[in-house]
Structure 1
Amino acid sequence: MNAHSVPMTASAVMNTQPVVLKETDTVAVAASHIMQRRYRNLQVVDEDGRHLGAFGIGCLLRLSLPRAVTLEHGLESAPYVSDTLEQMSARLRAVAADPVSKYMDTTVRVVHPDTLLMETLLILYQTRSSLAVVDRGSRQLLGVISYWEVLRKVAGGLC
């Protein structure tokens, strides 16, 4: 890098108008967005746009499985659990009207607009999930970085 070049940051590859969930949106609304658009996860914000966490396919799968399978110190394998698809579906329907805030992942990694691009891409690769770009002070969600956003810019003329 020469003395005049400016390092690229997360803000160079973020989508500033992502689809997000409000903390009061229901599991059914989230499932609809996720399934129709094939999102891995959606960022969850409060009424003021502050980032709270993410809700995605992992959350939906966890909600459809028996509780004993998903407890922190629960089963490590489940060869004897033989639930039907209908039983799994019933579990998901039972929580469909609950707010996503009850089940969202609040431990998701985030980046900031000034996070260097290579660090951002490494985190994207490691987490294998979209990243929220969050203001350090206010925790406002500024955008989202997905594989698709990055590959649109990197792959450019290949596709």
Structure 2
Amino acid sequence: MNAASLMKPDPITLSPDDSISTAAKFIMANRYRSLPVVDADGCFLGVFGVNCLLKKVLPKAALMDDGLTNVSFIHETLSDLKERFREVENESISMCMQRDIRTLPPDTPLIETLHTLYNNRASIPVVEEGSCKLLGMISYWNVGEKILSA
């Protein structure tokens, strides 16, 4: 078994020009933590995920590098967060997609694939060796289904 046998081929993908609102709808409708981003040729560029959404709605004071360690004094409502979302919902996902994602070629052995999944703690893109073409994604769900049905 290898990465190709664990992956979900042809995953839902986003374009770097998609809006944050479009991406949020896909993520929420499917309960994904992140979605792969590809260009018009299917070349893997990175992922857009819920962490970006949180970053966009949290108050800036809560996100300061080497800043606050306790934010319990900040009192906001869901309406405040939604207003902050409205301010960025039409912006391109490329502004905060994660580009430094570990990918695997389809022939990566089973245990190496699972070890990578464990260390990354996120779904893994399977990318064609020698190119950037996204072939599929491996999630904990894919692996769990394969193990339980073995």
Task: Judge same fold: TM > 0.5, yes or no.
Answer: yes
Supply the RMSD in Å over aligned alpha carbons.
Answer: 1.6
The Cα offsets for residues 90-122 of structure 1, whole Å up to 9 and x where unpaired, read as 111111111111111112222121222111111
C-alpha change, 1:69 and 1:11, in structure 2 (3 Å) is same
Deviation of 1:135 after TM superposition, in Å, equals 2.3
Deviation of 1:77 after TM superposition, in Å, equals 2.8
How many equivalent residue pairs? 150
Give, as a single letter, the amino acid of the residue that structure 2 aligns with 1:58: N
Structure 2: state its 5+ residue gaps.
Answer: none
1:27 counterpart (14, 20, 23): 20
Are positions 1:118 and 2:111 aligned together? yes
Structure 1 partner of 2:145 = 152
Give, as a single letter, the amino acid of the residue that structure 1 aligns with 2:102: R
Structure 1 partner of 2:44 = 51
Are positions 1:84 and 2:77 aligned together? yes
Q: Which whole-Å CA distance do the structure 1 matches of 2:141 and 2:127 have between them?
A: 19
Structure with max Cα Rg = 1
Q: Which whole-Å CA distance do the structure 2 matches of 1:9 and 1:110 have between them?
A: 14
Give, as a single letter, the amino acid of the residue that structure 2 aligns with 1:141: L
C-alpha change, 1:110 and 1:76, in structure 2 (3 Å) is farther
Q: Could you state the TM-score of these two structures normalised by the residue count of structure 2?
A: 0.91
Query: Comparing 52-61 with 76-85, which one deviates more in the overlay?
Result: 76-85
Q: Which runs of 4+ in 1 moved over 4 A?
A: none
Structure 1: state its 5+ residue gaps.
Answer: 1-7
Aligned-pair identity in percent equals 42
